[in-house]
A and B are shown apart, each in its own frame.
Chain A
């Protein structure tokens, strides 16, 4: 009867999930001060949990989510790499896919400004550091391709873009990037094939439209 009707208010939760709940609450509040307080609490709990249980992939993942919310991309990438290293390969409750998703979001936020400001060497170093031997990450290929392309190395860029395409054939941005690389190599027919594919998938794609107009002018 005690078990069925639960007369005692027993609250049992593991600290790592308390941390996750706090992050979730922080995301749902609009008041920035309150958000900061909640995130601070989560960070304190999760930092302690990661030190106490360095072998739990899920705890690293949640801590990585915390750093992402703090916009500390380096720490977010580091924690998600740990989550993938420890947790890849399970049959149920897989953590590696969500960890890679979060890693790529942090990577994008870190690398895109570097590429856009011309810090290509530093961007390449960040990408190299974000590699996970336990799990192939196609997004790294995509950004490496962009860096090679900016450096004028169309062959290496193409290699990266085509490898990315093998994993994700329907990414219009990547197809447009392939077209740009072929155009750089003066292989206009190949460029046109890919630009058409990109425009078919996303008629408003800016890069695809740009390279298309360039090809039409030539």
Chain B
């Protein structure tokens, strides 16, 4: 099979080169603080990088001091509508690269996200610190922060693709999908969460197919990825339960599944009993609400909908039908704070490629048992259901029928599991061409993405 050059070099190296090239392009071409919530993630990263682990309260405000010039520069990039009349000038960026912020001139920033734990920001925090050593300029520090998030993402996913014996092409197509790479090249905790979830998925596939016993070292790595995932974003904690697909006798140690379930629950609760407990110990009153024009309260919302469960189910289905296409688009490529989607045709083709590849990227010798397929489908349904219902209850106003604020990018960590349902469904006699197809399609879509972002967000002058 290894007749062609793309088969001689392992796919993960192609992933690394393509990811690094286009990822770094996105770091610089994506206008400053234009990824969803990137401004607020950057504030948190800056705070932690500068030792502000304890929020302070001043009157009703909860937050910490921040250099005035830093805050002003970030805020200057918010709320740009991005149309033909309103774009960012590259010359303005050049001019802003001369701004130096000074820690002695600060303002108290009331931080609506003061309770977010620092674990998900670790790569971005390192980037901020190193960027500040280089130059205390808001834009340059933000680039360093983005770049470090990207490096960590690429390294983790590199190992994920390396360790999975099959499904490498699917994993590469998912992890280098425009939105996945765009997120990775931004300041956000999604980077670490997505990478950790992909690693978990890769470990499960490896264990499913390997003949050797699973070592405690491998399980420790799995638990570490699980911890990283729940600390970064506690929304995908059902995915690690895929481990229940692995027969107990495959482990090199005694493995009662009930003990794993107990361990998983403990890991899921870790952020609550560590960082959240630390923040709660300050008994802060007040704080700036993020959105206040509607009441957002998950328990009140649940109580409201429980009065009419059939209505809630019908609303949820109607939301999937009315917003589903936007979610798919958002999962593949929707950029900027102004939610600018990639052209529909590109997204559609990429979705077809993903599903096609998921059906044919397999080793014909491996067959999943019905029980394993059942567990995988169950974990997928529970993960999707929990995510959609969770967003419906927490991101939508009390009593609303229409779901608010659901973005396709939230489905990225679940995408490999969704595609895994197609594993081994179509026989494939041309496996040697799959890496070439993957490499070419990835390069093509990322090339189009970079051009699209450049044309959309920047003015000619």
User: Chain A residues in contact with chain B, CB under 8 A?
Assistant: 2-4, 6, 8, 10-14, 17, 52-53, 55-58, 61, 86-95
6 contacts between A and B (CB under 8 A): A58-B293, A61-B293, A88-B292, A89-B288, A90-B292, A91-B112
Taking a contact as CB atoms under 8 Å apart, the answer to whether A4 and B325 are in contact is: yes
CB distance from B87 to the nearest CB of A (A): 22
Task: Assess the B292–A87 pair: CB atoms within 8 A.
Answer: yes
What is the bound-complex CA distance between A61 and B401, given in angstroms? 19
Query: Taking A89-B288, A91-B289 as contacts, is the C-beta distance between A3 and B320 under 8 angstroms?
Result: yes
A89 to B294, CA, bound (A): 12
Q: Mark B389-412, 1 if CB is under 8 A from A, else 0.
A: 000000001111110000000000
Do the beta carbons of B292 and A3 come within 8 Å of each other?
no
Select from chain B the residue with minimum beta-carbon distance to A55: B295
| A211 smallest CB distance to B (angstroms) | 41
Is B67 among interface residues, defined by CB-CB distance under 8 A? no
| B294 contact set on A, CB distance < 8 A | 56-58
Bound: A55/B300 CA distance, A: 11
Known: A3-B320, A10-B322, A86-B295. 8 other contacts (CB 8 A): A6-B325, A53-B397, A57-B292, A58-B293, A86-B292, A90-B288, A90-B293, A91-B288
Q: B133 within 8 Å of A by Cβ?
A: no
In chain B, residues 396-432, which have Cβ atoms closer than 8 Å to a Cβ of chain A? 397-402
- Contact status A94-B293, CB under 8 Å: yes
> Could you tell me if B318 and A12 are in contact, using CB atoms closer than 8 angstroms?
yes
State whether B401 touches A14 (Cβ < 8 A). yes
What DSSP secondary structure best describes chain A's contact surface? loop
Judge if B315 is at the interface, Cβ distance under 8 Å. yes
Quick one: closest B residue to A57, CB to CB?
A: B293
A56 nearest in chain B by CB position: B294
Contact, CB under 8 Å: A89 / B320: no
CB distance from A23 to the nearest CB of B (A): 17
B116 interface contact, C-beta 8 A: no
Contact of A2 among B288, B293, B321 (CB under 8 A): B321
Chain A residues within an 8 Å CB radius of B397: 53, 56, 58
Known: A3-B320, A3-B321, A6-B321. A89 touches B348 (CB 8 A): no
Q: Are A13 and B290 in contact (CB under 8 A)?
A: no
B319 at the interface (CB under 8 A from A): yes
A114 to B367, CA, bound (A): 84
Provide the bound-state CA to CA distance between A135 and B67, in Å. 27
Q: Please name the residue on chain B nearest to A17 by beta carbon.
A: B402
Contact across chains for B322 and A91 when beta carbons are under 8 A apart? no
In Å, the complex CA distance between A87 and B74 comes to 25
- What are the interface flags for B80-112 relative to A under an 8 Å C-beta threshold, 1 for contact and 0 otherwise? 000000000000000000000000000000001
Per CB-CB distance, the 8 closest pairs between chain A and chain B, nearest first, are: A90-B292, A3-B324, A95-B293, A55-B295, A58-B293, A12-B318, A10-B321, A87-B293
A95 and B322 contact, CB distance less than 8 A: no
Bound Cα distance A89, B60 (Å): 10
Complex: how many Å from CA A10 to CA B402?
Answer: 12
B245 adjacent to chain A (CB < 8 Å): no
| B398 touching A12, Cβ below 8 Å | no
Q: Chain A residues with Cβ under 8 A from B400's Cβ?
A: 14
Say whether B280 faces chain A, with CB atoms less than 8 Å apart: no
Taking CB atoms, residues of chain B closer than 8 Å to A17 are 402
| Complex-state Cα separation, A158 to B318, whole angstroms | 59
CB-defined contacts of B285 to chain A, threshold 8 Å: none
CB of B291 within 8 A of CB of A93, answer yes
Contact A90 B290 (CB under 8 A): yes
Contact, CB under 8 Å: A4 / B348: yes
* A8-B321 CB under 8 A given contacts A89-B288, A95-B293: yes
Given contacts A89-B289, A91-B112, contact A12 B325 (CB under 8 A): no
Task: Judge whether B291 and A91 touch: CB under 8 Å.
Answer: yes
Assess A56 versus B398: contact at CB under 8 Å? Given A4-B325, A4-B328, A12-B318: yes
Determine if B321 and A95 form an interchain contact, defined as CB atoms under 8 angstroms apart. Answer: no
List, in ascending order, chain A residues with CB within 8 A of B321's CB: 2-3, 6, 8, 10
In the bound complex, residues from chain A placing their C-beta under 8 Å from that of B288 are 89-91
Known: A3-B328, A4-B328. A56 touches B289 (CB 8 A): no
A2 neighbours in B (Cβ, 8 Å): 321
Q: Is the CB of A12 within 8 A of B322?
A: yes
Of the candidates A6, A10, A11, A56, the one whose C-beta lies within 8 Å of that of B295 is A56
Q: Please give the distance in Å from B149's CB to the nearest CB on chain A.
A: 23
With contact pairs A3-B320, A53-B399 given, residues A91 and B293 touching in the complex (Cβ less than 8 Å): no
Contact with A along B132-159 (1 / 0, CB 8 A): 0000000000000000000000000000
Closest chain-B Cβ to A14's Cβ sits at a distance in Å of 5
Whether the pair B399, A92 counts as a contact (CB closer than 8 A) is no
Which of A14, A52, A61 lies in contact with B402, CB distance below 8 A? A14
User: Which B residues, 300 to 324, have Cβ-Cβ distances below 8 Å to chain A?
Assistant: 315, 318-322, 324
Q: For the complex formed, measure the closest distance between the CB of B224 and the CB atoms of chain A, giving whole angstroms.
A: 34
Is the pair A53, B112 in contact by a Cβ cutoff of 8 Å?
no
The residues of A that contact B399 with a CB separation of less than 8 Å are: 52-53
Which residues on A sit within 8 Å (CB–CB) of B398? 53, 55-56
Q: Give the docked Cα–Cα distance between A91 and B318 (Å).
A: 30
Query: Whole-angstrom distance from the CB of B347 to the nearest CB of chain A?
Result: 9
Contacts of A8 in B (CB 8 A): 321
With A3-B320, A13-B402 already in contact, the answer to whether A95 and B328 are too (CB < 8 A) is: no
Contact between A93 and B293 (Cβ–Cβ < 8 Å)? yes
Q: How far is the CA of A43 from the CA of B360 in the complex (A)?
A: 57
Alpha-carbon separation in the docked complex, A17 to B293 (Å): 14
Is the CB–CB distance between A92 and B319 below 8 Å? Answer: no
